[in-house]
Amino acid sequence: MLQFFDPEADVAIKRRRLPHWSQPGVVCFITFRTDDSMPRSVINRWETDRRSWLVRHGITPTADNWRQQLSELPLPLQQEFDRTFSNRWHDELDACHGACPLRDPSNAMIVADSLRHFDGDRYDLTDFVVMPNHVHLLAAFPDESSMLTQCDSWKHYTATQINRSLGRRGRLWQQDAFDHLLRSEEQFLYLRRYIADNPRKAKLRPGEFLHWTNSAK
C-alpha cells in the first residue's frame, strides 16, 4: 500500500548541495541528471530570473530563510513560483543539452537494470523513465538513510559501467539528485503520468528513452 508524507510524523532532513527530506515508507519522486545536462548559461539565466521574482515579491534571495519567506506568501503566489521555475527547469532538461549518453539504448539499459535490481528488497519502485540526459523515478525506501545511500549506489555503479562502455573517464552524474516526498495519491498519479508522458513531451523517438512501470502498485 502506498504511503504519503505525514506532516505530523518525524521527518529527516539532510543537507548537501540540496536539502533532502526522508520519511520511512513514503513514495518519493527523484530526478538525477548527467553532469553536462544543464549548461552554465541556462543555469545563470534561471537563477537570475528566480532572484528577480523573489525580490519583486519582497523576499531576499540570499537570506538563509528565503524558503520560509516564500511559504508566507499567499498560496497562489507560491504556486506561481513553483510552476514557473520547476516547469522551466524540467523544460530545459527535456531540451536534451549535453552529450546525452543515455540516448544509446545499451546505456539506458544499464540504468534500467540497476534501478530494477533491488526492487522489492532495498526499496519499492513503481515507475521510471530513462531520458537521454536524466532519469525520473518513483520509489519508497524503508528508512531515513536508504534513499541517499541508494541514489549514490545507482549513480556510482551506472557511471562506472557507462564510462567503460564509452571508453571515457570522469564524472557522469551531477552530485545531488532532486527528490520530493509525495503528499497524496493525486500527486502520485500526476507524477506517474508525467513520467510516462516525458518522452512525448521531449519529442523523443522510440529507442531514445526507456520507460518502465509496475501497474500493480
Helix (H), strand (E), coil (C) string for the chain:
CCECCCCCCCCEEEECCCEEEECCCEEEEEEEEECCCCCHHHHHHHHHHHHHHHHHCCCCCCCCCHHHHHHCCCHHHHHHHHHHHHHHHHHHHHCCCCCCHHHCHHHHHHHHHHHHHCECCCEEEEEEEECCCEEEEEEECCCCCHHHHHHHHHHHHHHHHHHHHHCCCCCCECCCCEEEECCCHHHHHHHHHHHHHHHHHCCCCCCCCEEEECCCC
- Do 90 and 111 sit in the same domain of this protein? no
- Residue 108 in any domain: the answer is yes
Q: Kindly report the CATH number assigned to the domain that includes residue 111.
A: 3.30.70.1290
pLDDT in tens, 104-127: 999 999 999 999 999 999 999 999
Tell me whether residue 68 is in a domain: yes
Do 198 and 180 belong together in one domain? yes
Same domain, 89 and 106: no
Q: Which domain holds residue 23?
A: 12-37+100-213
- Same domain for 44 and 33: no
- One domain, residues 120 and 189: yes
Strand partners, 66: none
Q: Both 113 and 143 in a single domain?
A: yes
66 within a domain of the structure (yes/no): yes
Same domain assignment for residues 143 and 200: yes
**Domain end point (choices 94, 124, 139):** 94
The yes-or-no verdict on residue 48 having pLDDT over 90 is: yes
Q: What is the pLDDT of residues 154-212, one digit of tens each?
A: 999 999 999 999 999 889 999 877 878 888 899 999 999 999 999 999 999 999 999 99
> For the chain, what is the domain count?
2
